[in-house]
């Protein structure tokens, strides 16, 4: 299915409105409605007192109007009576303070009482609605980890962490070894002595912190699996999914997604543009459109999780309330974002939310409708896409199964945790490195699959590993067997699984492949930049934040630092000063590049891979799905896009795209072959 949907909260509106809402959703072309994910206090207002009539009625109303329902399990919001009856379900912060009641996500993943209560509620819901004709899917909980809620320092977590360590290490000696506890007399003689890494005088042992994060990630996975198992038992044939977040890496999404049918995520391009690492100029330039590659990066990340099945569960419909600044999107953006998701293979794009709430925390968050029930711009644009989709659904569906990117980007959650635990320089941001490399490929018109480190890499022309700190031997073997051009970013392989420096130094397991050894690293304070040149005549690039001094062990330098921290030994052309090296098909980058640098570098390496990168005009993005090409103009100026050699049939839009315009093309066989 390829459809549009919406998130709806019938419990927040008088019953008299439901019928009209459902009928108007249909009229706008929406087909899927997510409900229920925060409704525990209405389903069970007091312990054991179950009120299903309203939810029966809401589901039946939607069903009567031909809308399919995604039911959310309400476990992100345990109600007051439950918290009061069982205070142990609350998560504790690192100072041991309980999370307060009155917002959401206040529970502790490790609490046995909460697991039992959540299982009880999920079972009740699944028994009641699991076979309802209207119910097409289940969403487990809501945005695991949102508002920094993965970690809890509760007694239950402490005990489960000890058991987890015991399973991982077997003996306490092995744990001591793995953590290097001889340092500063941290040695343990019993697993029962180990606490979560909290309230230490200075930084706690990094391997201890890494295991704590791994443990916490596993707790989320286990909590989710408990729900999935219940849902599968009582609701056969329905998809089970979860809505992940953007730029959120506090648990391993690849692992959790193994238990799901569909990976979904919540796309808020303007909020993300303001709240994450973009520089002030980028935040200004993209204030009303969002950075074009933020949604796409996540579309491609989540597409890599459940065999290619993914949705946007929540799509920004207008201004949000939670970012540092909340501009209203320019007219046309809700349509562009929706088409962008469809172009990257989304099955469903569902808007958050149907109607703006006039009260409570999110009263400043737009919906498709204003609080008075009138349609806001988002509704008008959603309806436009629904009409356009009617003409494009079939070609899109047919093409989707043949989507194949030429570039793979390896994304590894534990590597991000390692960088976070030991950044070594305040602005070494592994997630940003991944995004910059991705964005560069997109600016060059290349389609990218974002993949877990275990994924098969055959068939790609170019494999990017911008922040693969963790030396993964399996990945190293796969890379050695690959004929793609491989680009390793700085710090690749610089840590073992235990977060040690590898024997033989970085890049550890990738040393043979890269033909270099990292002998020294420098992080660079703001304003300390290095310049480097790509080839004799190539562009001059700027390195900042991070650089490394390499010894060449078979690789040849492709770029050298002109001066400064990386280049002291540049007198010896074979030893040192290299900023970029090549060893057969493996490239190693020894510095942090800015966005322009990434574009030049990926262009260079993509050419070596036999690809034909294009320099797209600012704000233009193209996405290929089989023989379809979708062209999106994120900018405020008209842009022209010519299909390659003119060999394409126009399906929508025009050659000249207006600001925030979209066009769709079907390539003729000759053009789609290359
Ligand atoms: C998401 C969340 C929704 C709503 C939305 C607002 O993080 O899942 O419940 O809060 O953000 O943008």
Domain of 18, CATH number, reads 3.20.20.80
pLDDT tens string 557-599:
999 998 654 444 444 444 459 999 999 999 999 999 999 999 9
Helix %, strand %, coil % of the chain (to 5): 35, 20, 45
Of residues 434, 338, 414, 231, the one with CA closest to residue 664: 338
Q: Find the mean pLDDT for residues 176-180.
A: 98
In a domain, 102, yes or no: no
Please say which residue of 366, 400, 434 terminates a domain. 400
Does residue 437 sit in the same domain as residue 571? Answer: yes
Contact 602, 440 (CB under 8 A): yes
CA distances to 52, 504, 508 from 18, in Å: 16, 66, 60
- 213: in domain: no
CA–CA separation, 169 vs 76, rounded Å? 33
How far, in Å, CA of 438 to CA of 427, rounded?
Answer: 19
Are 515 and 384 contained in the same domain? Answer: no
- Is residue 251 helix, strand or coil? coil
Is 106 inside a domain boundary? no
CATH number (domain holding residue 553): 3.40.50.880
- Count of CB atoms situated within 10 Å of the CB of 674: 9
pLDDT above 70 covers a percentage of the chain that reads: 96
Q: Would you please indicate which residues are annotated as catalytic (active-site) residues?
A: 143, 314
**Number of separate helices (H) and strands (E) present in the chain:** 20, 25
> 521: CA distance to ligand 1 center in Å?
40
Last residue of a domain, one of 400, 422, 454: 400
Tell me, yes or no, whether 229 and 297 share the same domain. yes
On whether both 539 and 659 belong to a single domain, the answer is: no
560 plus 483 within the same structural domain: yes
Q: Tokens 């977040």, residue? A: 245
Residue 187 forms part of a structural domain: yes
7 Cβ below 6 A of ligand 1: no
Rounded to the nearest angstrom, the distance between the alpha carbon of 117 and the centre of ligand 1 is: 24
Domain presence at residue 100: no
State both tokens at 176: 């001591």
> Whole domain around residue 664: which residue ranges?
620-672
Span from the CA of 468 to the centroid of ligand 1 (angstroms):
30
Residue 603 in any domain: the answer is: yes
Instruction: Please report the atom of ligand 1 found closest to the CA of residue 352.
Output: 5
pLDDT in tens, 519-564: 999 999 999 999 998 877 778 899 999 999 999 999 999 999 986 5
Tell me what pLDDT residue 568 has.
Answer: 47
CA angle (148, 154, 156) in 5-degree steps: 120
Nearest CA to ligand 1 atom 5: 352
- Pocket of ligand 1, candidates 144, 275, 352, 360: which has the most ligand atoms within 8 Å of its Cβ, to mutate? 352
SS3 assignment, position 602: helix
Ligand 1 neighbour 76 (Cβ under 6 A): no
Question: Do 539 and 581 share a domain, yes or no?
Answer: yes
Q: Is the CB of 141 under 6 A from ligand 1?
A: no
Number of domains in the chain: 4
Give nearest CA residue, ligand 1 atom 10. 362
Q: Is the CB of 365 under 6 A from ligand 1?
A: yes
Q: Which three-class secondary structure state does DSSP give residue 176?
A: helix
Say yes or no: 637 and 555 in one domain. Answer: no
| Residue 495 and residue 363 in one domain | no
In-domain check, residue 99: no
Residues whose CB falls within 8 Å of the CB of residue 308, separated by 6 or more in sequence, listed in order: 345, 403
My answer on whether 624 and 657 are in the same domain is yes
- For 270, 295, 315, 402, 632, the CA distances from 343, given in Å and listed in that order, are 20, 11, 15, 12, 10
Rounded Cα distance between 173 and 219, Å, is: 24
Q: Which residue has the tokens 């949705």?
A: 311
Residue 320 Cβ inside 6 Å of ligand 1? The answer reads yes
Ligand 1 atom with least separation from CA of 243? 8
Residue 73 carries which DSSP code?
P
Listed range (30-39, 360-369, 661-670) with the worst mean pLDDT? 661-670
Average pLDDT over residues 607-635: 94
User: Per-residue pLDDT tens for 33-52?
Assistant: 999 999 999 999 999 999 99
Q: Is the CB of 268 under 6 A from ligand 1?
A: yes
- Kindly state whether residues 31 and 49 are assigned to the same domain: yes
- pLDDT digit string, tens, across residues 119-159: 999 999 999 999 999 999 999 999 999 999 999 999 999 99
Q: Strand 540-552 to strand 578-583: parallel, antiparallel, or no bridges (unpaired)?
A: unpaired
Q: Do 299 and 412 belong to one domain?
A: no
CATH number of the CATH domain containing 652? 2.60.40.1180
Structural domain includes residue 228? yes
- Same domain? For 626 and 597 the reply is no
Mean pLDDT on 465-488: 98
Does ligand 1 have an atom closer than 6 angstroms to the CB of 146? yes
């Amino acid at each position: 299915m390829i459809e549009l949907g919406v998130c709806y909260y019938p419990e927040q509106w008088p019953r008299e409105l439901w019928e009209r809402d459902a009928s108007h959703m249909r009229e706008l072309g929406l087909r899927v409605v997510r409900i229920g994910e925060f409704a525990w206090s209405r389903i069970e207002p007091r312990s054991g007192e179950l009120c299903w009539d309203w939810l029966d009625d809401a589901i039946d109303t939607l069903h009567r109007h031909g809308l399919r329902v995604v039911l959310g399990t309400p476990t992100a919001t345990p109600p007051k009576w439950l918290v009061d009856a069982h205070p142990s379900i609350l998560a504790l912060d690192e100072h041991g303070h309980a999370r307060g009641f009155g917002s959401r996500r206040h529970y502790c993943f490790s609490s046995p009482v909460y697991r039992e209560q959540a299982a009880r509620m999920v079972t009740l819901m699944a028994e009641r609605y699991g076979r309802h004709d209207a119910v097409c899917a289940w969403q487990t909980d809501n945005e695991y980890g949102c508002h920094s809620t993965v970690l809890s320092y509760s007694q239950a977590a402490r005990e489960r962490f000890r058991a987890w360590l015991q399973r991982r290490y077997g003996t306490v000696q092995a744990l001591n070894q793995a953590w290097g506890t001889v340092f500063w007399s941290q040695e343990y003689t019993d697993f029962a002595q180990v606490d979560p890494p909290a309230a230490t005088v200075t930084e706690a042992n990094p391997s201890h912190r890494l295991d704590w994060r791994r443990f916490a990630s596993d707790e989320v996975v286990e909590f989710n699996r408990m729900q999935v198992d219940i849902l599968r038992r009582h609701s056969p044939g329905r998809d089970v999914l979860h809505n992940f977040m953007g730029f959120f890496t506090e648990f391993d999404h690849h692992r959790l997604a193994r238990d799901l049918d569909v990976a979904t995520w919540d796309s808020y391009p303007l909020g993300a543009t303001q709240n994450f690492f973009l520089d002030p100029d980028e935040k200004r330039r993209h204030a009303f459109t969002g950075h074009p590659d933020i949604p796409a990066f996540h579309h491609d990340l989540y597409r890599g999780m459940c065999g290619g099945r993914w949705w946007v569960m929540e799509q920004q419909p207008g201004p949000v309330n939670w970012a540092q600044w909340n501009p209203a999107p320019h007219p046309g953006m809700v349509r562009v974002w929706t088409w962008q998701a469809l172009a990257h293979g989304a099955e469903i794009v569902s808007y958050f939310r149907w109607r703006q709430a006039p009260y409570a925390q999110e009263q400043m968050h737009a919906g498709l409708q204003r609080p008075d029930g009138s349609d806001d711009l988002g509704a008008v644009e959603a309806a436009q896409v629904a009409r356009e989709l009617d003409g494009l659904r079939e070609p899109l569906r047919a093409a989707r199964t043949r989507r194949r990117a030429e570039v793979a980007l390896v994304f590894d959650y534990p590597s991000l945790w390692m960088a976070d635990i030991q950044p070594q320089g305040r602005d070494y941001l592994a997630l940003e490195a991944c995004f910059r490399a991705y964005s560069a490929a997109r600016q060059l018109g290349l389609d990218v699959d974002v993949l877990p480190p275990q994924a098969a890499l055959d068939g790609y022309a170019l494999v990017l590993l911008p922040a693969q700190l963790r030396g993964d031997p399996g990945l190293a073997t796969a890379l050695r067997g690959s004929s793609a051009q491989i680009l390793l970013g700085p710090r690749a392989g610089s840590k073992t699984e235990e977060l040690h420096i590898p024997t033989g130094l970085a890049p550890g397991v990738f040393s043979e492949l890269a033909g270099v050894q990292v002998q020294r690293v420098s992080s660079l304070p703001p304003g300390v930049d290095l310049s480097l040149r790509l080839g004799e005549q190539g562009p001059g690039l700027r390195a900042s934040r991070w650089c490394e001094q390499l010894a060449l062990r078979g690789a040849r330098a492709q770029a050298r630092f002109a001066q400064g921290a990386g280049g002291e030994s540049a007198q010896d052309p074979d030893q040192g000063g290299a900023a970029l090296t090549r060893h057969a098909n493996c490239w190693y980058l020894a510095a942090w590049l800015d966005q322009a640098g990434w574009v030049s570098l990926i262009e260079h390496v993509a050419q070596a891979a036999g690809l034909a990168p294009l320099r797209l005009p600012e704000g233009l993005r193209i996405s290929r799905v089989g023989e379809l090409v979708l062209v999106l103009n994120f900018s405020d100026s008209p842009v022209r896009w010519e299909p390659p050699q003119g060999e394409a049939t126009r399906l929508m839009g025009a050659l000249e795209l207006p600001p925030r315009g979209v066009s769709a093309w079907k390539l003729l066989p000759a053009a789609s072959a290359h």
